Structure 1
Amino acid sequence: MNLLPVIMSGGSGTRLWPVSRSKFPKQFCELLDKPLHTMTLNRLKKYGSSVIVTNKKFQDLTEGDIRKNSFNVEKVLYEPTPRNTAAAIGLVCKYLQIQGKLDQVAGVFSSDNLILDEAAFHEALDVASKTAATTGAVVILGIKPDHPETGFGYIQVKDRAIGTKKATEVLKFHEKPSAQKANEFLNAGTYFWNAGIFIFKVENMINHFKKLEPEIWNQLESLKPDLSNLNEVYKDIKNISIDYAILEKLTSPELMCVTCDIGWSDLGSWDSLMDKREGLNQAQHNIQVASKNNSVFPVENKTYSFVGVEDLMVVDTADALLVCKKNESQKVKDVVDRLKVTNPGLTEEHVFENRPWGKFEILKDQDYYKSKVIRVDAGQKISYQSHAKRAEHWIIVKGEAVVILNDKEVPLKTGEHIFIPQGAKHRIINNSNAAVEFIEVQVGSYFGEDDIVRYSDDYGRS
């Protein structure tokens, strides 16, 4: 099938705090066996190359996932600032127009959704893609509801639960309903969840932009072929969802729906995620005495005990703990809103950071020293750099590496140490086929990540 997956990966996932944070959002977190971003790209790799649209601040996370899993990605489009889904999809269309791919059939998918029945998913995509290619319609996947959900929008279709054999007419979009309305929708059988998955021919979507959102398209038309003026164009572009901008303004036969039952979840709350995590190593972390129905998102190698309580969810990270009653997790967003005022760092960053060469975790951060454990992946190297306000001690605790110190090579193996004087040029290179880990202790007057001068970098950072 000639389908180009377009993966939207700009969300912040605030409802899954404290695991999901603005600089490390839920699509990159290991919420299940693998990060959702990885699972999405795996699910779609059968269609060949893909295009990813994401925020510039997720560049290291995105490229790290692509490199680690050898994904076939044609292009990553980095938005300089979030401008909602209409701008993102318009940007993809403009990029594909520049590439001469107006006849391309593209499908839009979120990077942070879970799909359990992949066979049914691909069957639905096959019908939707053929419909988009032959009729020119924009084709939405409608997800069969299994409970009266008030947190999703709904698509009302003409034919009752026809499955994935053919596309059906869309009668109306419905906003998130009341509990009573959600029950009515479930019983009617002609209302389906809007999962934000849709398929279209690029030329037809461009025509919809020209007709329905000419201001957005006119701005995108000013993009240079190499997208070098994207920052300038994007800062003033309209902030609106593709649903409001385009989809809800279309009528049949321009808009069709393929209804399906694919085990879809947006994992938009701790309640929905804990349901999917049942059985994932819960027993070894969770001791319950005179207690029942309590769930844990655990820190590794840590035991949690419940006494005399029920229906609780505990979400633990190195620097924040969430205790929430089941069916109340939508209110986690209120916690995040408060923290943005009182302690914004807790909503933005973890004590660890992923980098294109590996990862580091802060062990201790004091006024007079800072310590980290740093992992450099196989075949990777950190930038050749210096620090103006600190010196560093490195001790290798796993593997072997070469340290470059003021242009001299120093081989190190497990248990060996090197001192990096303040202002010295240095880097560590891992030429082996296994990760290298070392403990770094910083001493000096300032330990911020911005105290760095790069002289050479394999990842294009300045």
Structure 2
Amino acid sequence: MKSIILAGGVGSRLWPLSREYYPKQFIKFKSFKKSLFQMTFERCLALSNNNLDDIYIVTNEKHKFLVLGQIEELGYNNFNEDNILIEPIGKNTLPAIYYGVKVIKNKNNNNENDNNKNIVGVFPSDHLIDKNDEELFINTIMEGKKIAKDYLITFGITPTKPHTGYGYIKPLKKLNIGYTVDEFKEKPDLKTAEKYIKNGYLWNSGMFLFDADLFEEEVKTYKPELYELFKSDDINEVYNNVPDISIDYGIMEKSKNVAVIPLNIKWNDLGSFDAFYDEFKTDDAGNIVHGENLFINSKNNLINTENNKFTSLIDVNDLIVVDTRDALMICKKGSSQKIKEVFNTLKRKNDERVLYHKTVYRPWGSYTILDEGKFYKIKRITVLPGKKLSYQLHHHRSEHWIVVKGMAKVVVDDKEYFVRNGESTFVKSGLKHRLENPGKIPLEVIEAQIGEYLEEDDIIRFNDDWGRK
């Protein structure tokens, strides 16, 4: 089967951990060795019998290289970049999924011998599934293939409690596998959620399985304007005109061919910091602590700090405290859904703290801003083995590079030389230059920028391995 991984979104309710250029699906939370995206990718690989070509990822331009980098980190260096589908602008789940379906159908037209060539699973990249339940998850998805020719299948999570952050699905008629669907319900209040649980409703997981031909027919029937727009080969033109609409509202709630299969697994979409209380271990007082701490008479708090910063709480309960290098967020437990309001306010003000961390990830590695003033900026640059920055120049700043780990290959106005551990070099403004790591270990460089304008848009690229302008 084919898999479509949805890897857009910004995770605004997990700010300041999640930023637009490094959203929650790519974060390695402190209890996990892999990101949510990486865990999703590995589950999809199991569903496709380890065939990388059967995995398609819908994302955006600013996340493309996070996707590639995290796949490479898993040890897969030959993933086909053509399977990374770039949305020009996010328009919700229905256009994203149909984009993936169209590409899969076009690629599979020449493979008539594959009976399951058009069976497609759709999986958000930011869901957490307990490791102990992954085998049950895989088996349930594979069972669903038996009815995927006749039904658009959604997977309903067996609820563990009344939850106001999830949509609900009401099963109706029993099938050989799963049930037909009576109705979909939006996120309820607590009293309504309790009623749904008593009446056997399931959480709406946002995961789907279907035959691509059947799905396309349903799009043609219920969203004909979307169907017609996607006939164009110009994806920018398509996205300029498609509606912003979810697959639930656009198709699943209207189609007569919908089934739900229960998934009795431990599942969480980590949609807010309150959801952390369901997933992370607590101490004897119910505190979740990521970092060095000393608590006195304090219970049921969540603390997440960078660089193992020491934190002390005294006589406080039910607080969520998230501390990063450039932002501190404190709220009461139960109120973390409101963090999105902070995110949106900062975004309206064009505040870069909704876009970037102090550590910014690039296709070649990352950089961390250590200090900055009006006319200077100090960075720690990490270049991955075999990677190189673009050949570029800056009009308004010069750069002093000090190598602290590894060996750098430097190009300045077409002249090449090597800079070793403990050595430094200076690049004047206006000169074309490039930094490269020819070695087998990460290269670390301290960069001191000096100039009257130090923003990232003071850059002219002449050659770039990733086609950036």
Return the TM-score normalized by structure 1: 0.92
Residue 350 of structure 1 pairs with residue 360 of structure 2: no
Cα deviation code 1:154-196 (max 9, x no counterpart) = 1111368x9xx822221111122221121111122x2101111
Query: 8 Å contact 2:120–2:211 — kept in the other structure?
Result: yes
Cα deviation code 1:297-325 (max 9, x no counterpart) = 12113111111111211101110001121
SS in 2 for 1:349: coil
2: CA distance, partners of 1:325 / 1:279: 17
After superposition, the Cα gap between the structure-2 partners of 1:300 and 1:159, relative to the gap in structure 1 and judged at 3 Å, is: farther
Match of residue 363, structure 1, among 349, 370, 392: 370
Cα deviation code 1:420-457 (max 9, x no counterpart) = 11111211221211101010001112111111122221
Name the counterpart of 2:120: 106
Residue 144 of structure 1 pairs with residue 158 of structure 2: yes
Name the counterpart of 1:37: 37
Cα deviation code 1:241-293 (max 9, x no counterpart) = 11111111112xx2111111121111000011244232699375221012222
Name the counterpart of 2:203: 193
1: CA distance, partners of 2:276 / 2:461: 41
Residue 379 of structure 1 pairs with residue 386 of structure 2: yes
Match of residue 70, structure 2, among 62, 65, 85: 65
Residue 345 of structure 1 and its aligned partner are, at CA, apart by 1.9
Name the counterpart of 1:88: 96
Residue 99 of structure 1 and its aligned partner are, at CA, apart by 1.5
Runs of at least 5 residues in structure 2 that lack an aligned partner in the other structure: none
Name the counterpart of 1:177: 188
The amino acid that maps onto 1:292 is: K
The amino acid that maps onto 1:168 is: Y
The amino acid that maps onto 2:450 is: V
Name the counterpart of 2:414: 407
Match of residue 120, structure 1, among 132, 136, 141: 136
The amino acid that maps onto 1:18 is: P
Name the counterpart of 2:179: 168
Residue 113 of structure 1 and its aligned partner are, at CA, apart by 0.7
Residue 78 of structure 1 pairs with residue 89 of structure 2: no
After superposition, the Cα gap between the structure-2 partners of 1:404 and 1:30, relative to the gap in structure 1 and judged at 3 Å, is: same
The amino acid that maps onto 1:197 is: M
After superposition, the Cα gap between the structure-2 partners of 1:274 and 1:441, relative to the gap in structure 1 and judged at 3 Å, is: farther
Return the TM-score normalized by structure 2: 0.91
Residue 214 of structure 1 and its aligned partner are, at CA, apart by 0.6
Name the counterpart of 1:203: 213
Name the counterpart of 1:226: none
The amino acid that maps onto 1:327 is: G
Residue 259 of structure 1 pairs with residue 258 of structure 2: no
1: CA distance, partners of 2:447 / 2:241: 43
Moved >6 Å (runs of 4+)? none
SS in 2 for 1:166: coil
Residue 148 of structure 1 and its aligned partner are, at CA, apart by 0.4
Residue 296 of structure 1 pairs with residue 312 of structure 2: no
2: CA distance, partners of 1:375 / 1:351: 13
1: CA distance, partners of 2:369 / 2:290: 29
Residue 404 of structure 1 and its aligned partner are, at CA, apart by 1.5
Identity over aligned pairs, percent? 39
Name the counterpart of 2:10: 12
SS in 2 for 1:414: coil
Residue 241 of structure 1 pairs with residue 246 of structure 2: yes
Query: 8 Å contact 1:389–1:451 — kept in the other structure?
Result: yes
Query: 8 Å contact 2:405–2:444 — kept in the other structure?
Result: yes
The amino acid that maps onto 1:40 is: T
Residue 342 of structure 1 and its aligned partner are, at CA, apart by 4.4
Residue 52 of structure 1 and its aligned partner are, at CA, apart by 0.4
CA RMSD, aligned part only? 1.9
The amino acid that maps onto 2:314 is: V
Residue 219 of structure 1 and its aligned partner are, at CA, apart by 0.5
SS in 1 for 2:330: strand
1: CA distance, partners of 2:250 / 2:263: 25
SS in 2 for 1:373: strand
Residue 375 of structure 1 and its aligned partner are, at CA, apart by 0.1
SS in 2 for 1:231: helix
After superposition, the Cα gap between the structure-2 partners of 1:290 and 1:242, relative to the gap in structure 1 and judged at 3 Å, is: same
The amino acid that maps onto 1:43 is: R
Query: 8 Å contact 2:291–2:311 — kept in the other structure?
Result: no
2: CA distance, partners of 1:120 / 1:28: 24
Residue 335 of structure 1 pairs with residue 338 of structure 2: no
